[in-house]
Amino acid sequence: MDSKELNYALPKNQLQEMQMAFENGDFIQAAENIKKSIIGINDIPLNIAVTGESGSGKSTFINVIRGLGDEDEGSAKTGVVETTVVATPYSHPHHRNVKYWDLPGIGTTRFEPNKYLDLVKLTQFDFFLIIASERFRDCHIQLARAINSMGKKFYFVRSKIDADLSAFRRQRKSNYNEEQILREIRNNCIKGLHDGGIMCPRVFLLSCLELEKYDFYLMQKTFENELPGHKRHVFLLSLPNIYFQALESKRDALRNQIWKHALASAGKASIPIPGFSADNDIDLLVNTMKEYKEAFGLDEISLNCLAKTFDKDIHDLRSVIKHKLVLKEITHDLVVNLLKRRELTAAALMVTDYAAGTVPLLGSMAAGVVAFGTAYWLLYSFLKDIAEDAGRVLSRALENTI
Ligand SMILES: Nc1nc2c(ncn2[C@@H]2O[C@H](COP(=O)(O)OP(=O)(O)O)[C@@H](O)[C@H]2O)c(=O)[nH]1
Ligand SMILES: [Mg+2]
């Protein structure tokens, strides 16, 4: 490890945040406060309403955005005629507080947007997605206006783009131009919304069969930029691992939080190297490492879903994972053994030394600080390895599909 890597592993802005957490000069208290804040992250609710005409692909979208196939446990039923008028929440498999709500289909002759919105208890949603396939219709405008009038945000999703493109491919044969067709579809939606009195509408073109293509990344980035900070983090972690930018965004978001997990797990430590005394602290590390695995889709369930999505063999996907630790089940004993490794202790001391340059209190502490460096380096290296392996798995999954 050299100073460049240290600089990367512990960015200055993170150290400054840590310095602020230490302002009252109490290591144990700072660790306790941080622990509360990281546990609280799992309680942050994110409710996204998915609405649109029956058959537009709402249920399919709700499944794929949660990394699920139509037949997986917890998936929404697709391809069925909607008879219910009840909004149904679907939780993300790893982030139970991230919920996508399957709203009853609009567009029937009896459709009355305001009543519809009353029905779905508008206020609990962070934002709305209006999903439309095929033609732009008046009911979309009515719904968009009703959502706007209640001060809520909506995004317009034009779905089933794969089907449009293959229809055009047949029709236009010699002068088929994908970019131009996508532009035409986008402009048609924007114009429709604009003519209906919606200023600056946000339109995304998607295919649930090829989620990684078209505007999915742009859509994700837009949500990310427009959500408040605490919700942005959970949203990011809940994204499906089907394109490389998602992996990078997750790695960066998680890396920015390492100091908190390291501090919280080290807070109680009272003995020197390896510096961990209470089981509690180790459990926090175990849980964090498990969360990393799930966030990058390398747990068994997620790998299975990825294999199905891209029609690959799970053993084949697993075979490209390079770091042995990534394949192992993360247990208490495993983490205890990792913490005892000598090279980790050496790295821990360098981390502590480096961090103490910005956070002087760290330098003046004894055991807890070594534990901090140990935990930091363990999480940092694991995150780095797992992000690399997730990239390899995705490359293998995408082979021969583009
Ligand atoms: N070609 C294509 N078909 C889709 C897509 N999304 C959904 N479908 C199909 O459209 C039909 C209706 O989808 P569903 O999700 O049940 O629509 P909902 O009624 O709005 O919930 C199903 O047969 C889906 O398989 C897509 O992106 N591309
Ligand atoms: Mg449905």
10-residue stretch averages of pLDDT, the chain, 402 residues long: 82 88 79 85 90 90 91 84 76 93 71 65 82 86 84 93 92 86 94 90 94 92 91 93 92 93 74 46 90 94 89 95 94 88 81 84 65 88 97 93 61
Q: Pick the residue whose CA is nearest to atom 5 on ligand 1.
A: 160
- Compute φ and ψ for 212, nearest 5 degrees: -70, -10
Would you say the CB of residue 391 lies under 6 angstroms from ligand 1?
no
Would you say the CB of residue 88 lies under 6 angstroms from ligand 1?
no
Contact in structure between 152 and 120 (CB atoms under 8 Å): no
- Residue 247 Cα to ligand 2 midpoint, Å, equals 29
- Confidence (pLDDT) at 366: 58
Domain layout of the chain by residue ranges: 3-41+241-398, 46-237
- Kindly list the protein residues that place their beta carbon closer than 5 angstroms to ligand 2, a single-atom ion: 59
Would you say the CB of residue 267 lies under 6 angstroms from ligand 1?
no
Cα–Cα distance measured from residue 229 to residue 257, given in angstroms and rounded to the nearest whole number = 13
Peptide bond into 11 cis (omega under 30): no
Compute the C-alpha angle 98/294/79, nearest 5°: 55
Cα–Cα distance measured from residue 240 to residue 45, given in angstroms and rounded to the nearest whole number = 18
- Confidence (pLDDT) at 159: 96
Class of domain 46-237 as given by CATH: alpha beta
Strands 46-52 and 127-132: parallel
Contact in structure between 125 and 152 (CB atoms under 8 Å): yes
- Residue 122 Cα to ligand 2 midpoint, Å, equals 19
- Looking at the CA of 60, which ligand is closest? 1
Sequence-ordered list of residues with C-beta below 8 angstroms from that of 80, at least 6 positions apart, any chain: 59
- Confidence (pLDDT) at 373: 85
- Confidence (pLDDT) at 369: 64
- Confidence (pLDDT) at 272: 38
- Confidence (pLDDT) at 110: 59
The model's pTM: 0.88
Chain centroid to CA 368: how far?
A: 32
- Give the mutation target among 51, 59, 78 for probing the ligand 1 site: most ligand atoms within 8 A of CB: 78
- Bridge partners (DSSP) listed for residue 51: 130
- Bridge partners (DSSP) listed for residue 48: 100, 127
- Residue 57 Cα to ligand 1 midpoint, Å, equals 4
- Confidence (pLDDT) at 89: 92
Contact in structure between 142 and 113 (CB atoms under 8 Å): yes
- Confidence (pLDDT) at 277: 53
